[in-house]
Amino acid sequence: MRIFFLSIVLIVLASCGTIRVNYDYDNKTDFTSYTTYNYFGDMETGLSELDEKRLMNALDATLGEKGFMFAEEPDVFINIKSSVYKTQQRNNVGVGLGGGGGNIGGGVSIGIPVGGPKLNRELQIDFVDAVKDILIWQAISESPFREGDTPEEKSDKLKAVVDKIFSKYPPQ
């Protein structure tokens, strides 16, 4: 029984800091034909200027590893959108009171909220074909966000998000 509860606690703790990514793409697109990229000039990322720079550095490094090159006349334009939101509180402690005797029973239970709402960051990255002007690939990630992180922690977290996003690019 002790192992069961320990396993449940470990699963809950492991799921708290995960990065979740949803993908969508045009399945008729040949992604091997795209080798150059650039960013939309009028992007409203929703990030601070410093976080935007950190994210673009992480993107540049990861895209370079994938064989992409930055170009003034690219094959693909990249659009970035980001938002931070509060998640609903899901942790409760139940307190119960019960009694009974014979054929009569009864009980009272209440749920006490534990902890406050958590912050998550949603990051959306779009690849738009520069010639056809159509969306060809999109990734939307959700990850935990903390406002008080140091600049190094912010860089590391953004790099981890970008690595997770591009772990399944190009689509198979």
* Residue 127: exposure state from Cβ atoms within 10 A (0-12, 13-18, ≥19): buried
Asked whether the predicted pLDDT for residue 109 surpasses 80, the reply is no
Asked whether the predicted pLDDT for residue 5 surpasses 50, the reply is no
- The residue that leads in pLDDT, 52 or 108, is 52
CA torsion angle for 138, 59, 52, 143 (degrees, to 10)?
60
Structure tokens, 17: 């800091």
Q: What is the mean pLDDT of the chain?
A: 83
CATH ID of 19-84+115-168, from 3.30.160.670, 3.40.50.1820, 3.30.750.24, 1.10.340.30: 3.30.160.670
CA torsion angle for 156, 158, 161, 163 (degrees, to 10)?
-70
pLDDT of residue 106: 62
Least confident of 22-31, 37-46, 86-95: 86-95
- The residue that leads in pLDDT, 8 or 140, is 140
Element (H, E) at 128: strand 119-129
Question: Within a 10 A sphere around the Cβ of 116, how many other Cβ atoms?
Answer: 9
Please give the Cα distance from 101 to 26 (Å, whole number).
65
pLDDT of residue 116: 62
62-87 pLDDT tens trace: 999 999 999 999 999 999 999 888 77
What pTM was computed for the model? 0.73
With contact defined as beta carbons under 8 Å apart, do 55 and 80 qualify? yes
What's 159's DSSP letter?
Answer: H
